[in-house]
């Protein structure tokens, strides 16, 4: 009986460790769109500002939105998840892929980061897309922002019928 309790306790302990290993750094949810950052661990980012504050988001597009809201702050660093390992890496030194057949997160045109250029090249070979730098991916995300706001307004307006005076 004692061995059963020890085995059960060991299984529960290992299960807790395994679950904790899959969880990402705080916050659990993107503060801008509410998406679960663990579920979208492959696209998540952390932007750190020079005042010591930081923001965890689900994607590059939400980082752009955060930076617009914090326009009085200066960015110290960007970290992005490696698409394959989901571990955070420096966004500026990562190999980026724009586009391809994989659906993006919070965007019509996907933007994925890879810690190793070989992984980015393999992704492009399998899924399409084009190689890019962080600055190119950031500019592409910034270009989408006005369209995103316009499209959201159109979606909100759909279904209301004609307005009469």
Q: Which residues of the chain have pLDDT under 50?
A: 5-21, 148-165
Report the predicted TM-score, pTM, of the whole model to 2 decimal places: 0.75
Supply 107's token pair: 């965007």
Does residue 159 belong to any structural domain of this protein?
Answer: no
Output the pLDDT for position 157. 33
Does residue 87 belong to any structural domain of this protein?
Answer: yes
Output the pLDDT for position 154. 40
Does residue 153 belong to any structural domain of this protein?
Answer: no
Q: Whose structure tokens read 């592409």?
A: 140
Does residue 4 belong to any structural domain of this protein?
Answer: no
Structural domain boundaries enclosing 112: 23-148
Does residue 6 belong to any structural domain of this protein?
Answer: no
Task: Tell me the helix, strand and coil percentages in the chain, rounded to 5.
Answer: 40, 20, 40
Output the pLDDT for position 89. 98
Beta strands 45-49; 54-57: pairing state? antiparallel
* Structural domain count of the chain: 1
CB 129 within 8 A of CB 121: no
Output the pLDDT for position 50. 98
């Amino acid at each position: 009986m004692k061995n059963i309790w020890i085995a059960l306790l060991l299984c529960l302990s290992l299960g807790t460790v395994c679950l904790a290993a899959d969880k990402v750094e705080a916050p659990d949810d993107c503060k801008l769109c509410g998406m679960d950052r663990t579920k979208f661990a492959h696209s998540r980012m952390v932007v750190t500002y020079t005042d010591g504050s930081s923001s965890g988001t689900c994607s590059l597009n939400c980082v752009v939105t955060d930076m617009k809201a914090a326009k009085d702050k200066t960015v110290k660093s960007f970290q992005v998840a490696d698409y394959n390992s989901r571990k955070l890496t420096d966004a500026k030194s990562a190999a980026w892929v724009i586009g391809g057949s994989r659906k993006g997160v919070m965007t019509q045109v996907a933007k994925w980061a890879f810690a190793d250029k070989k992984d980015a090249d393999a992704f492009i070979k399998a899924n399409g897309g084009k190689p890019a730098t962080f600055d190119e991916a950031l500019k592409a995300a910034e270009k989408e922002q006005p369209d995103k706001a316009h499209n959201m307004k159109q979606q909100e307006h759909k279904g209301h019928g004609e307005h009469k005076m």
